C-alpha cells in the first residue's frame, strides 16, 4: 500500500464562515425604516382625520338615499332643502388661519361692517362662529352663491329657488313635478353633498 495516498481518516470538516447579520450595519439604514414608519403613521393619521371630518357627509348621503327610496315623495322633497342646510352648517370651518383677515367675498352679502371688523381680529374661533352662524340665515341669491362657491361641478342657475319651492310650495305642486325633475333634484343634491369643497 502506498503511504502517500490520503486516507479517509485524514479528512477534516471545512470551517464555515461566520453567518452574515441581516441587521443594517450603518446608521443610515436605521434612519430609512424609521422615516418610512413615521410617513406611514402620518398618512394613516391624516386619512383617519379626513374620514372623521367627513362623517357629516356620509350621514347626509345615507339620508339622501333613504329619501330617494321613500314612498312619500312629498315629505322626501320637502326635506331636501333642510338636509342641504344641515350639511352646510356641519361643514368644517377650520380654514381661517390665526390672524388672517377674511375677504369680503367670503362673507354673505348681508354681513355687517361690524361683523367683518370682528372677523379681522386674531380670533379664528369667533370668525368660524360668525361665518357658520350666517350659513343658517342664507337665502335666495346668497344661498345660491354659497352653494356655487363650494360646488365642484356646475349647479343649475336657479337651484336655490328650486330648493325654496320644495320647502314652501303646496303639496299639489310637488306632486305635479315630473319624475325626471325629481330625480334631477335628488342627483344634484347628492352630487353637491358628495363633492362640495371644504377648505382643509
Q: 143-153: per-residue pLDDT in tens? A: 888 888 888 88
- Residue 113: is its pLDDT beyond 80? no
Mean predicted confidence (pLDDT) in 16-32: 84
d(CA 166, CA 74): 9
160 close to 143: Cβ distance less than 8 angstroms? yes
Alpha-carbon torsion (117, 113, 140, 138), positive or negative: positive
d(CA 37, CA 41): 6
Q: List the chain domain ranges.
A: 55-195
pTM listed for this prediction: 0.62
Residues 6+ apart with CB under 8 A from 170: none
Q: Which three cell numbers stand for residue 126?
A: 369667533
- CA-based radius of gyration for the chain: 32
* Digit-coded pLDDT (tens) for 189-199: 999 988 887 76
Burial call 30-40: b when 16+ CB within 10 Å, e when fewer: eeeeeeeeeee
Amino acid at each position: 500500500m502506498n503511504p502517500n495516498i490520503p486516507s479517509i481518516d485524514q479528512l477534516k470538516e471545512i470551517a464555515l464562515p461566520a453567518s452574515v447579520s441581516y441587521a443594517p450595519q450603518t446608521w443610515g439604514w436605521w434612519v430609512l425604516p424609521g422615516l418610512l414608519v413615521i410617513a406611514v403613521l402620518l398618512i394613516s393619521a391624516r386619512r383617519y382625520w379626513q374620514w372623521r371630518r367627513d362623517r357629516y357627509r356620509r350621514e347626509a348621503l345615507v339620508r339622501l338615499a333613504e329619501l330617494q327610496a321613500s314612498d312619500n315623495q312629498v315629505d322626501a322633497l320637502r326635506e331636501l332643502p333642510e338636509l342641504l342646510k344641515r350639511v352646510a352648517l356641519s361643514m368644517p370651518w377650520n380654514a381661517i388661519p390665526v390672524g388672517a383677515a377674511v375677504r369680503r367675498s367670503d362673507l354673505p352679502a348681508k354681513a355687517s361692517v361690524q361683523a367683518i371688523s370682528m372677523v379681522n381680529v386674531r380670533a379664528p374661533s369667533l370668525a368660524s362662529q360668525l361665518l357658520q352662524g350666517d350659513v343658517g340665515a342664507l337665502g335666495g341669491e346668497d344661498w345660491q352663491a354659497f352653494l356655487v362657491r363650494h360646488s365642484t361641478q356646475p349647479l343649475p342657475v336657479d337651484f336655490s329657488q328650486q330648493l325654496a319651492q320644495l320647502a314652501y310650495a303646496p303639496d299639489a305642486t310637488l306632486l305635479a313635478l315630473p319624475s325626471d325633475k325629481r330625480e334631477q333634484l335628488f342627483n344634484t343634491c347628492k352630487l353637491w353633498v358628495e363633492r362640495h369643497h371644504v377648505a382643509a
